[in-house]
Amino acid sequence: MPYPEEMIAPMRAELADNGVEELRTADDVKNFLERNKDKNAMVIVNSVCGCAAGAARPGILLSLEGDKKPDAVGTCFAGNDTDACNYVRSLVPQAPPSSPSVYLFKQGQPASYVPRHVFEGGHPESVAEHLSNLYVKL
Amino acid sequence: MGTFHSDKGALHGITVVVRTTGSAVYIGRCDTQTPHAIFLNDADKHDEGQDGKTNDEYVKTAAQWGHWPRIPQVSVPAAEIAEVIRLSEIAAG
């Protein structure tokens, strides 16, 4: 059962209001990756979890203030954008479903993955540093 | 930072690795740790050598990709616990 949209709207907006493209369907994800197949791209699986609010979303946004970052950033919401999340997860089948999580793509191919446990109990600064270190490798 | 359930202890909501005094290792999201046991949700269990992997290999793989939540709830008695650490503290394999 999906979460009430009015409940998660602020959680979506925290990313969308900062330039992150919302990917609500599998086709949205496919089109996003196709449009950015010659670039570096990131897909964030957003979540209602406390670690998404306290660490993942603020840490991700902080990481995007750096010089080195993905060319395009999109997001889908676990529990609501089910097909979109399932599609992006299908691209990295060795990773169990996890939210929040981050998928990095280099020229359309999966390049790195950050599961939920990296965000748990973390601080935005440490999350940003972790992600920034991955951006450099893209 | 943790979550808002302050009565549940510092590891509440955190994915932990529970190494036992036996051949098993558990990974799961800690609900509570008491003097008697640790209670995990969305957990997985691995026995030394299972699927051709040592427990260390299994844990390192989980650190990189996460773990499959095959066991909805499990408790590990304190007497069987050798170590509890956060999965995020493990170097990915």
In angstroms, what separates the C-alpha of B60 from chain A's closest C-alpha? Answer: 13
- pLDDT greater than 80 at residue B1: no
Which alpha helices (H) appear in chain A, and where do they start and end? 5-16, 26-35, 50-51, 57-63, 82-90, 124-137
Count of C-beta atoms within a 10 Å radius of residue A94: 10
Question: Residue for token digits 């399932």?
Answer: A86
DSSP state of A109: E
Asked whether the predicted pLDDT for residue B2 surpasses 50, the reply is no
Domains parsed from chain A with CATH numbers: 5-137 (3.40.30.10)
Residue A116 CA to residue A103 CA, distance in Å, equals: 11
**pTM (two decimals):** 0.93
The answer for B 15-54 residues in CB contact with A (under 8 A) is 15
pLDDT of residue B91: 85
Count of residues in chain A: 138
For residues A23 and A73, the answer to whether their CB atoms sit within 8 Å is no
| B65 touching chain A per CB within 8 A | yes
ipTM, 2 dp = 0.88
Residue partners of A54: CB distance under 8 A and separation at least 6:
A122, A124, B1
What is the pLDDT averaged over residues B12-20?
96
Distances in Å between the alpha carbon of A103 and those of A9, A73, B3, B84?
22, 10, 24, 28
Strand, helix or coil for residue A51? helix
SS3 A36: coil
Mean pLDDT computed over A48-66: 96
The structure tokens listed for A138 are 């893209």
Q: How far is A45 from chain B (nearest CA, A)?
A: 14
Query: What integer best gives the mean pLDDT of chain A?
Result: 97
**Nearest Cβ partner for A120 among B15, B68, B69:** B15
Cβ <8 Å between A123 and B69: no
**Binary contact (B13, A120; C-beta < 8 A):** yes
Which H, E and C letters describe B44-79, residue by residue?
EEEECCHHHCCHHHHHHHHHHHCCCCCEEEEEEEHH
Residue A67 has pLDDT above 70, yes or no: yes
pLDDT tens-digit profile of B34-93? 999 999 999 999 999 999 999 999 999 999 999 999 999 999 999 999 999 999 999 877
